[in-house]
Structure 1
Amino acid sequence: MSNALAGKVVFVTGASSGIGEATALALSAEGAQVAVGARRAGRLESLADRAPGEVLTLELDVTDQESVRAAVAETVERFGALDVLVNNAGVMLSGPIVGADTTEWTRMVETNLLGSMYTVHAALPHLLERKGTVLQISSTSGRIASANSGVYAATKFGITAFSEALRQEVTAQGVRVVVVEPGFVATELAGHITDPAMRTAAQQMAATMRTLQPEDIAAAVVYAVTQPEHVAVNELLIRPTDQTR
Structure 2
Amino acid sequence: MNATPPLSEQVVVITGAARGVGAALARKLTLRGAKVALVGLEPAELKVVAALCGPAATAWEVDVTDNDALGEAARQIQEHYGRIDTVIANAGIALGGPLLESDHRAFTRVIEVNLLGSVATARAFLPALTESGGYLLQIASLAAMTPAPLMSAYCASKSGVEAFAHSLRAEVAYQGVKVGVGYLSWTDTDMVRGADQDAVLKQMRARLPWPASKTYPLEPAVDRLVAGVARRSAHVYAQAWLRGMQPMRWLLPTLIAKAGARDVARLAPEIRATAATRLRPVGAGGAADTAARTEQEPTA
Regarding TM over 0.5, the answer is: yes
Greater CA drift, 88-97 or 197-206:
197-206
The C-alpha deviation readout for 1:114-150, integer Å capped at 9, x for no partner, is 0010010010011011110000111100111011111
Give the match for residue 214 of structure 1: 218
Q: Does the aligned pair in 1 maintain the 2:196–2:202 contact within 8 Å?
A: no
CA shift in 2, pair 1:198/1:237, >3 Å: farther
Q: CA RMSD in A?
A: 2.6
Q: Does the aligned pair in 1 maintain the 2:188–2:217 contact within 8 Å?
A: yes
1:1-245 correspondence runs (5 A): 4-52=6-54, 54-190=56-192, 196-198=198-200, 200-201=202-203, 211-227=215-231, 232-239=232-239
The C-alpha deviation readout for 1:12-60, integer Å capped at 9, x for no partner, is 0001111000001111111111100110111112112212461011101
The C-alpha deviation readout for 1:208-238, integer Å capped at 9, x for no partner, is 96522332232122212222xxxx5211234
The C-alpha deviation readout for 1:163-204, integer Å capped at 9, x for no partner, is 011001112322111111100100011355599444544786
Q: Displacement of 1:94 after TM fit?
A: 1.3
Greater CA drift, 82-91 or 61-70:
61-70
Q: SS in structure 2 opposite 1:54? A: coil
- The runs of at least 4 consecutive aligned structure 1 residues that moved more than 3 Å come to 190-206, 237-241
Separation of aligned partners in 1, 2:96 and 2:172: 34
Greater CA drift, 213-222 or 117-126:
213-222
Aligned length: 237
CA shift in 2, pair 1:240/1:132, >3 Å: closer
The C-alpha deviation readout for 1:50-71, integer Å capped at 9, x for no partner, is 1246101110111111221122
Q: Does the aligned pair in 1 maintain the 2:15–2:89 contact within 8 Å?
A: yes
Q: SS in structure 2 opposite 1:98? A: helix
CA shift in 2, pair 1:61/1:6, >3 Å: same
Greater CA drift, 67-76 or 106-115:
67-76
Q: Displacement of 1:239 after TM fit?
A: 3.8
Identity %: 31
Separation of aligned partners in 2, 1:97 and 1:214: 30
The C-alpha deviation readout for 1:82-134, integer Å capped at 9, x for no partner, is 11000110001111112221111111011000001001001001101111000
Return the letter of the residue paired with 2:34: A
Q: Does the aligned pair in 1 maintain the 2:222–2:238 contact within 8 Å?
A: no
Q: SS in structure 1 opposite 2:180? A: strand
Listed as ranges, the gaps of 5+ residues in structure 1 are none
TM-score (norm 2): 0.72
Greater CA drift, 105-114 or 3-12:
3-12
TM-score (norm 1): 0.87
Greater CA drift, 53-62 or 185-194:
185-194
Separation of aligned partners in 1, 2:207 and 2:138: 25
Separation of aligned partners in 2, 1:220 and 1:101: 36
Q: Does the aligned pair in 2 maintain the 1:137–1:181 contact within 8 Å?
A: yes
Q: Does the aligned pair in 1 maintain the 2:14–2:87 contact within 8 Å?
A: yes
